Amino acid sequence: MKAADNDMNCENIKGQLTDWLNHNLTTTDRSEVEKHLIHCLHCQEEFAASRQVWEAMGQMKVPEPSQEMRVQFHAMLDTFKASEKAGHRFSFENLLGKIKSFALPQWSIQLAFSLLLVALGWVIGSKTSRPKIEASTYEQQIDMLAGQVQEMKSTMMLSLIENPSATERLRAVGYTSEITDADERVIEALFATLNNDPNVNVRLVTLEALTQFAKNPAVREGLVKSLAIQDSPMVQVALADVMVKMQEKGSVKALQSLLRKEDLNDLVKNKIEQSIKDLS
Amino acid sequence: MNSLTDNSLMLRVKAGDMDKMGLLFERHHRALFGFFYHMTHQKNTSEDLVQNVFYRMLKYRQTFTGEGEFRTWMYHLARNVLHDSVKQNKTLHHYDVNEMADHLAGGALADEGFEKQQDAEQLHKAMETLSSEHREVLVLSRFQELKYDEIANALNITEGTVKVRVHRALGELKKMFVKNESRR
Ligand SMILES: [Zn+2]
């Protein structure tokens, strides 16, 4: 082989050493490079140096991301869902700031929540790695942990719902969609929000959350009572809708007295008259 | 376990089943964290950037077509998130003083890992000197193990450009690394 040919080949090979290292060569090109390396000392040196750097890069340590990341992600997801529902748009910086300001004072809840998730992961892991563990025991463990997660969600919801920021309260209400068995405390907190929250959007989302528990007689009763309290036309209309959907005949009286209210919006008036007709 | 592909999960998110994003988070948050960590060398910043990527996936879910790989789309967003953050403040080329101290303390104490630790330290410094264009292709190729065509799609450049950049980046790193090595 002539020297010039060899030089050109060397340039060509050098251009492919990186591709060899990061597996971007076809098998043919790969063996081509390897064949050349056997004979060419110069390229061998070049390759050894590249490889040294490549391997040293592999030694660079990446720290473990913190456990709170997962909690923050779910908080972000919940808030995102709630805000989409309520028709709000928040910037990410906005969201992150709020989630973080929440995360700091609530660290104990967050930590407990993370630990539960870890425990849940462990139970699932032990199940997959040791198939001998009895299915019933496993299910019991899962049930117990799932119950605790539910409880934790209730706690988070309760701690958030009195937050001064409407976004936080929206998020709190959002948690209830994941609470299957709402206890009295949760229901009570939801009603307090429905009847007193200064923000109409928060009240609307809360109303929607409460209708999930419409089977509960106390909830139905509370919703009827709320008719007399609401002053926003939007919430009044939404409540009237809920009454019709639930076919709550007990609400007719409350709806009638609402009609007698002064400065009742015309739209609302029509809506309520229609609702009374639908119910009787 | 992995019967659902990333693409099908993301298409479900697009269709309104936002909770499917949770699975995508479980699958990819570590890799994304690694990408940002190699780019910024800052743990807290990297965690925020990861959250931002997932937020953008939700917000811009309609732009996911399902034609390309989810991973490519994810790194495309990740790269934009990093870009925007660099524009706002100086995320790159900045060492976290505490983390640096941790590294050094760890290196001095652990006799066995001392050499490797030093290598990693030199490399960290060498990588800081690369342009962000060179650094990103190198990180995507070395640590995220993306193929050239995937990198090309994520960055909107040709495969040929990716190849050239990776090659040059490694070449520069090699020069820097050897220089630093001989200075010991
Ligand atoms: Zn050669």
User: Can you give the pTM of this predicted structure?
Assistant: 0.56
Q: Answer positive or negative: Cα dihedral of B35, B110, B170, A20.
A: negative
Chain B CB contacts of A103 below 8 Å: none
What pLDDT was estimated at residue B80? 93
Domain count, chain B: 2
**Residues A214 and A204: beta-carbon distance below 8 Å:** no
Q: Which of A59, A76, A96 sits opposite B119 (nearest CB)?
A: A59
Q: Per the CB < 8 Å rule, is A59 touching B120?
A: yes
* Arithmetic mean of pLDDT, A67-83: 84
What pLDDT, on a 0 to 100 scale, did the predictor assign at position A30?
92
Q: How far is CA A194 from the centre of its chain?
A: 23
CA A143 to chain centre: 22
Residue of B nearest to A20 (CA): B167
For chain A, helix (H) and strand (E) counts, in that order, are 14, 0
In this structure, of A1-5, A68-72, A78-82, A87-91, the range with the lowest mean pLDDT score is A1-5
Statement to judge: residues B80 and B11 lie in one domain: yes
Whether residue B22 is contained in a domain is answered as yes
CATH number for the domain spanning B143: value is 1.10.10.10
- Residues A3-61 have pLDDT tens digits of 445 666 899 999 899 999 999 999 999 999 999 999 899 999 999 999 989 988 888 88
How remote is the CA of residue B169 from the centroid of ligand 1, in Å?
21
How many Å apart are CA A201 and CA A169, to the nearest integer?
Answer: 10
Q: Is residue B140 part of a domain?
A: yes
Nearest to B29 among A60, A65, A96 (CB): A65
> Which of B18, B82, B142 is the best substitution to test chain A (most A C-beta atoms within 10 A)?
B142
Domains of chain A as residue ranges with CATH: 2-54 (no CATH), 149-279 (1.25.10.10)
Residue A76: name the closest of A52, A102, A50, A49 by CA.
Answer: A102
Which of the residue ranges A89-93, A160-164, A187-191, A259-263 would you say has the lowest mean pLDDT? A89-93
**Contact criterion met (CB < 8 Å) for A24 and B147:** yes
Q: Tell me the C-alpha distance between B41 and B18, whole Å.
A: 31
Are B7 and B90 members of one domain?
A: yes
Q: What tens digit of pLDDT does each residue of B91-126 get?
A: 554 444 344 444 443 433 344 455 666 777 778 888
B75 and B18, same domain (yes or no): yes
Over residues B46-74, the pLDDT tens digits come to 999 999 999 999 999 999 999 889 999 99
* Domain limits for position B71: 1-94
**Same-domain pairing of B37 and B118:** no
Tell which of B34, B65, B94 closes a domain. B94
pLDDT band at A157 (very low <50, low <70, confident <90, very high): confident
Which residues, 6+ apart, have CB-to-CB distance to B28 below 8 Å? B6, B71, B74
B88 and B144 belong to one structural domain: no
| Local confidence band at A130 (pLDDT 50, 70, 90 cut-offs) | very low
Residue B173 within a domain: yes
Predicted confidence (pLDDT) at residue B157 exceeds the cutoff of 90: yes
B53 near B45, Cβ under 8 Å? no
pLDDT above 70 covers what percent of chain B?
78
Q: How far apart are CA A171 and CA A86, in angstroms?
A: 11
Q: Is the pLDDT of residue A62 over 60?
A: yes
Those residues whose C-beta lies under 8 Å from the C-beta of residue A246, and which sit 6 or more positions away, are: A211, A214, A220, A223
Domain's final residue, options B94, B124, B139: B94
CB contact under 8 A, A24 and B148: yes
Among B36, B62, B94, the domain boundary falls at B94
A52 contacts on B by Cβ (under 8 Å): 177
Cβ of A53 and B142 within 8 Å?
no
Query: Residue B12 belongs to a domain with what CATH number?
Result: 1.10.1740.10
Contact between residue A55 and residue B175 where contact means Cβ atoms under 8 Å apart = no
User: For testing the chain B interface, which of A11, A14, A18 should be mutated: the one with the most B CBs within 10 Å?
Assistant: A18
Inter-chain touch A95–B56, beta carbons under 8 Å: no
Q: Which of A50, A51, A72, A73 to mutate to test the interface with B (most CBs of B within 10 A)?
A: A73
Does one domain contain both B167 and B134? yes
Q: Average pLDDT, stretch A126-133?
A: 50
Q: What is the ipTM of this complex?
A: 0.81
CA of A45 to the centre of ligand 1 (A): 9
Whether residue B82 is found in the same domain as residue B18? yes
Contact between residue A224 and residue A245 where contact means Cβ atoms under 8 Å apart: no
Task: Give the model's pLDDT for residue A152.
Answer: 67
Average pLDDT taken over every residue of chain A: 77
Q: Own/partner pairs for A253-257, CB < 8 Å, 24+ apart?
A: A254/A224, A254/A225, A254/A227, A254/A228, A255/A227, A255/A279, A257/A228
Q: How far is the CA of A36 from the centre of ligand 1 (A)?
A: 6
Q: What is the pLDDT of residue A227?
A: 86
At residue B34 the predicted structure's pLDDT band, cuts being 50, 70 and 90, is very high
Rounded CA-CA distance B170/B152 in Å is 17
Q: Is B33 in the same domain as B121?
A: no
Residue B81 shares a structural domain with residue B139: no
B44: tokens are 């807290």
What is the spatial distance between Cα A242 and Cα A220, in angstroms, rounded to a whole number? 10
pLDDT digits (tens, 9 = 90+) for A218-273: 888 899 889 888 887 778 888 888 888 888 888 888 888 888 887 777 778 888 88
Structure tokens at A122: 């462990």
The mean per-residue pLDDT over the stretch B25-53 comes to 93
Q: Name the percent of chain B in helix, strand, coil, to the closest 5.
A: 80, 0, 20
User: Is the Cβ of A87 closer than 8 Å to some Cβ of chain B?
Assistant: no
Residue that is written with structure tokens 């925020």 in the block: B48
Which comes out higher in pLDDT, residue B60 or A88?
A: B60
